[in-house]
């Protein structure tokens, strides 16, 4: 079930539970549904305040009518939020989307700026070797490691310098580092311990990334990409990552970086 198709009734506990489950995966459609629920709650409070301010007397003033009015207001708030409401949902959705990203900030933080400054010279070299814009490469490194904070480390605690999440396959003869990663199987997130390539420096990591992308035919479609969406979707289609929201996440990070 797609969260974008859910406009849950106030009686539909299963629909609300579905939104909560999907929101944990940071799926954009689930974030949109969650934002609509926030706005629906706000609208419900507004309607309740209006009801409370209205004088009540006569035949239709009873506990039963007040109950049905409350139920009506709850359902009306859901419908209004689903149709755009006050626009509050769009603001909330935008904030949730930013918070879902590694680094999760609307404005560049010292952590993200430091990461960009540190990696950009290596990305420029990888860009010359692969033809991929340097900011696209930095964005992918940021996504894979949470702006450098989740880099795999060796058994001795030393950094692997692997900031692209490149696994150590059967053909890899160099050093390795093990780390727990999230993989998606049929859209379901699973935690796994995987072996990753380890490098002696970030320069080596960027060089290996450029060789991998430029030398593997399945990435041929992204080599000439200059549009963030086309690049991100091309990497996702080529199977670089199993996360179904990978393209959206990568696009959002690219759009925060200077060209």
**What is the sign of the dihedral through the CA atoms of 56, 62, 67 and 71?**
negative
CA torsion, ordered 140, 169, 206, 105, to nearest 10 deg? 20
3-state secondary structure of 195: strand
Q: Which candidate in 39, 93, 151, 208 is catalytic?
A: 208
Q: Which candidate in 12, 99, 183, 227 is catalytic?
A: 183
Alpha helices in 83-197 (DSSP H): 88-100, 110-130, 134-145
Closest of 191, 187, 163 to residue 177, by C-alpha: 163
**What is the sign of the dihedral through the CA atoms of 80, 83, 88 and 93?**
positive
Q: Give catalytic status of residue 107 as yes or no.
A: no
3-state secondary structure of 179: strand
Q: Give catalytic status of residue 208 as yes or no.
A: yes
Specify whether the backbone of 102 is left (phi greater than 0), alpha (psi in -120 to 50) or beta. beta
Catalytic residues: 183, 208
């Amino acid at each position: 079930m797609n969260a974008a198709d859910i406009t849950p009734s106030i009686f539909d506990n299963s629909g609300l539970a579905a939104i909560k489950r999907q929101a944990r995966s940071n799926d954009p459609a689930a974030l949109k549904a969650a934002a609509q629920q926030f706005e629906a709650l706000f609208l419900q409070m507004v309607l309740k305040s209006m009801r409370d301010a209205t004088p009540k007397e006569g035949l239709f003033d009873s506990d039963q009518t007040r109950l049905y009015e409350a139920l009506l207001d709850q359902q009306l708030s859901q419908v209004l939020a689903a149709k755009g409401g006050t626009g509050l949902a769009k603001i909330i959705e935008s904030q949730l989307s930013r918070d879902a990203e590694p680094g999760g900030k609307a404005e560049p933080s010292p952590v993200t700026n430091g990461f960009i400054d540190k990696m950009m010279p290596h990305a420029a070299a990888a860009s010359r070797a692969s033809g991929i814009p340097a900011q696209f490469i930095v964005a992918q490194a940021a996504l894979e490691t949470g702006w450098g904070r989740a880099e795999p480390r060796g058994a001795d605690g030393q950094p692997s310098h692997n900031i692209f999440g490149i696994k150590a396959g059967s053909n890899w003869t160099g050093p390795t580092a093990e780390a727990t990663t999230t993989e998606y199987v049929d859209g379901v997130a699973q935690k796994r311990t995987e072996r990753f390539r380890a490098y002696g420096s970030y320069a080596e990591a960027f060089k290996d990334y450029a060789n991998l992308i430029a030398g593997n035919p399945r990435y041929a479609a992204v080599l000439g990409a200059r549009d963030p969406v086309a690049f991100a979707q091309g990497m996702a289609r080529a199977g670089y990552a199993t996360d179904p929201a990978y393209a959206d996440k990568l696009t959002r990070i690219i759009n925060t970086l200077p060209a």
